[in-house]
Amino acid sequence: MPSLSPYLNATPYQKARYMTRKGNIYSVVPDRAPEEIFETLAESGEVRIERIISDAHASPEGFWYDQDESEWVMVLEGSAGLRFDGEEEVLVSKPGDWVDIPAHVRHRVEWTDPGEKTIWVAVFY
């Protein structure tokens, strides 16, 4: 009789293989996103990789991100304006633009693209 739970009989290598996951960063983007969407693509104790979908969202008036973790973030589709506390200039980010933000560097999303979804990949570490 074949095992009903092959996982139980798997070798450590096979178990690791089962944990190999995949996806496409552009897939299953909803037509409308009333709230920003945050999805964890991978994580361990020290790192979290997220896909973020913004639909013309911006940080609330007067709000600053002030994070305990560093964040490396890249725009893949759409566009966004990032502001850093103490700077006048807004950093306009287009597909492929990345920024590595040390912990506690206060920043906010001034705007995201009004015409299409903005897809980000972010690594918190």
Chain contacts with a copy of itself (rule: CB under 8 A): 13, 16-17, 19-27, 41-42, 44, 46-47, 49, 70, 72, 74, 76, 84, 86, 91, 95-106, 121, 123, 125
Least distance from a copy of itself to the Cβ atom of residue 90, Å = 13
Minimum distance from CB of 86 to a copy of itself (Å)? 7
By the 10 Å C-beta count (0-12 exposed, 13-18 middle, 19+ buried), 54 is classed as buried
Q: Return the H-helix or E-strand segment holding 72.
A: strand 71-77
Question: Which two three-digit tokens encode residue 83?
Answer: 């502001």
Q: Using the minimum distance from each CB to a copy of itself, give the nearer residue, 109 or 123.
A: 123
Q: Residues 124, 69: contact at Cβ < 8 Å?
A: yes
Decide whether 9 or 34 has the Cβ nearer to a copy of itself.
Answer: 9
Nearer to a copy of itself, 87 or 114 (CB): 87
Q: How far is the CB of 47 from a copy of itself (least distance, A)?
A: 4
Least distance CB 71 / a copy of itself (angstroms): 9
Q: Which of 103, 38, 43 is nearest to 67 (CA)?
A: 103
What's the rounded Cα separation, in Å, for the pair 9 and 76? 41
E strand or H helix at 110, and its extent? strand 107-112
Pick the closer one to a copy of itself by CB: 25 or 30: 25
